[in-house]
Amino acid sequence: MIIALPEELRRVENIGLVQEFIRDNLTSKGMIADWVYHDKGGNPHIHLMTALRPLTEEGFGPKYMPVRRPDGKPLREVKSNRHNGDIVYTCWAGNRETMKAWKIAWAQTASRYLALAGRDIRLDGRSHAEQGLDGIAKRHLGPGKSAMMRKGVEMYFAPADLARRRKMTARLLADPEPLLRQLGNERSTFDEMDIARVIHRYVDDPADFANIRARLMASPDLVLLNPQQAGPMTGSMTGRVNGRVTGETREPAIFTTRKILRTEHNMMRSADILSGRKGGFGISDAGRAGAVRFVEGGDNPLKPFRLDLEQIEAIQHVTGGAAVSLLSSVLPVRASRHCLQLRALPGRADIIASWARHFPARLPRGWRRVRYQITNACCVGACLE
């Protein structure tokens, strides 16, 4: 198998992502996995090979294993010509359903690593039909053609492929809303450049591109969270004055969808209701102290580590008696411009904007090239326990 890796992650993060996925889904189930990491031309990916037979004391075992009933006996399929029926076998390495489960697991693991890296990007392991996006699936082009398209090289498609792309364009001209749903499945907030990218996946003609983009920008399901910010010195929206680049930093307009905004509103209402409840799922002081001791010395008794005071206070907070607890942290991420960029969840836009007006004055000296991403985690004590 060839698995593409998120180019937004660093090499060490991608390797950690692959190691966790293989450990949780392959080697933990007794399957041998051999993989190699490649990152050439901005195309990080791995080549993964797995064994199709179990490894036993005598060598490799059978490729197909009998399906067992709850009592441990083989499951049999009764047939008219055999009284006992035939034993039902299944492939030891898995089947089509196993591949679907791997896709879901990969999407969940990769999305978590992207979130930890401060990226508002989500992968979805479901098919387009399962996502409600039936009809906009693309034919795989391969790395060669994809690279040529990214470079703007003129492409010549086979008649069947060309007809398929024209059919796709006609479908999106009639109803471009599936593109907005797809974009909302991938990230909670986005800008006009993100909208242009998702259209360009399917549409090549400039006129059709402009028409679909105009319809999406006028869609009632598109919600403007934060308007485009002009340059503070010149007031330019384009970063140019009289044709010259001003060098000022501009913030693009930020959008979301009504579905995401409604989901966040429901989450906030649920949190408000839980915060008003008395008595949650608190853990006793003895249980909390025992858990801390186990974590501090459990992995390597010869080299124990100690949680600092802030970490201890966070554990006490989320395992207390409240029905809901909130943890907030600020994660520094490298940036290429001398500015402070905040991209928050849709429902927190006003709060974050107010916070950002006061935060720059508190930046330590030398941190001017640091971008901050605010992450929020809402945990229930029982789940953490």
Provide the pLDDT for residue 95.
86
- Contact between 191 and 254 under an 8 Å Cβ cutoff? The reply is yes
* Residue 289 pLDDT greater than 50, yes or no: yes
| Low-confidence winner among 106-115, 128-137, 181-190, 318-327 (lowest mean pLDDT) | 128-137
pLDDT tens per residue, range 149-168: 666 666 666 676 667 778 88
The arithmetic mean of pLDDT across residues 329-353, rounded, is: 40
Q: How many residues does the chain have?
A: 385
The arithmetic mean of pLDDT across residues 240-258, rounded, is: 69
Provide the pLDDT for residue 93.
86
Provide the pLDDT for residue 210.
92
pLDDT tens per residue, range 62-87: 888 888 888 888 888 877 666 677 88
Provide the pLDDT for residue 84.
73
226 conformational bin, left if phi > 0, alpha if psi -120 to 50, beta if neither: beta
Pinpoint the residues of the chain covered by CATH 3.30.930.30: 2-116
* Residue 231 pLDDT greater than 70, yes or no: no
What tokens were used for 284? Answer: 């006793």
Name the percent of the chain lying above pLDDT 90: 21
Q: Report CA-CA distances (Å) from 353 to 103, 263, 326, 346, 359.
A: 37, 21, 20, 11, 10
The arithmetic mean of pLDDT across residues 124-141, rounded, is: 66
Please report how many Cα atoms fall inside a 13 Å half-sphere around the Cα of residue 103, on the Cβ side.
11
Closest residue by Cα to residue 328 from 364, 293, 352, 354: 352
What tokens were used for 94? Answer: 């898995």
Provide the pLDDT for residue 234.
55
Quick one: 346 exposed, middle or buried, by C-beta within 10 A (0-12, 13-18, 19+)?
Answer: buried
User: With respect to CATH, is domain 2-116 assigned 3.30.930.30?
Assistant: yes
| Low-confidence winner among 122-136, 202-216, 370-384 (lowest mean pLDDT) | 370-384
* Residue 108 pLDDT greater than 80, yes or no: yes
Confidence of residue 247 (pLDDT cuts 50, 70, 90): low
Provide the pLDDT for residue 37.
94
SS3 content of the chain, % helix, strand, coil (to 5): 40, 20, 40
* Residue 147 pLDDT greater than 80, yes or no: no
Rounded to an integer, what distance in angstroms lies between the CA atom of residue 227 and that of residue 225? 7
Provide the pLDDT for residue 244.
59
Average pLDDT across the chain, whole number = 75
Closest residue by Cα to residue 146 from 215, 70, 201, 82: 201
The arithmetic mean of pLDDT across residues 281-301, rounded, is: 78
Provide the pLDDT for residue 38.
92
* Residue 259 pLDDT greater than 80, yes or no: yes
Confidence of residue 217 (pLDDT cuts 50, 70, 90): very high
DSSP notation for 198-265 = HHHTT---HHHHHHHHHHHHT-TTEEEEEPPBPPTTT--SSSEETTEE-----B--EEEEHHHHHHHH
Provide the pLDDT for residue 213.
93
pLDDT tens per residue, range 178-201: 888 888 888 888 999 999 998 988
Confidence of residue 137 (pLDDT cuts 50, 70, 90): low
* Residue 262 pLDDT greater than 70, yes or no: yes
The arithmetic mean of pLDDT across residues 362-367, rounded, is: 38
What tokens were used for 313? Answer: 């206070």
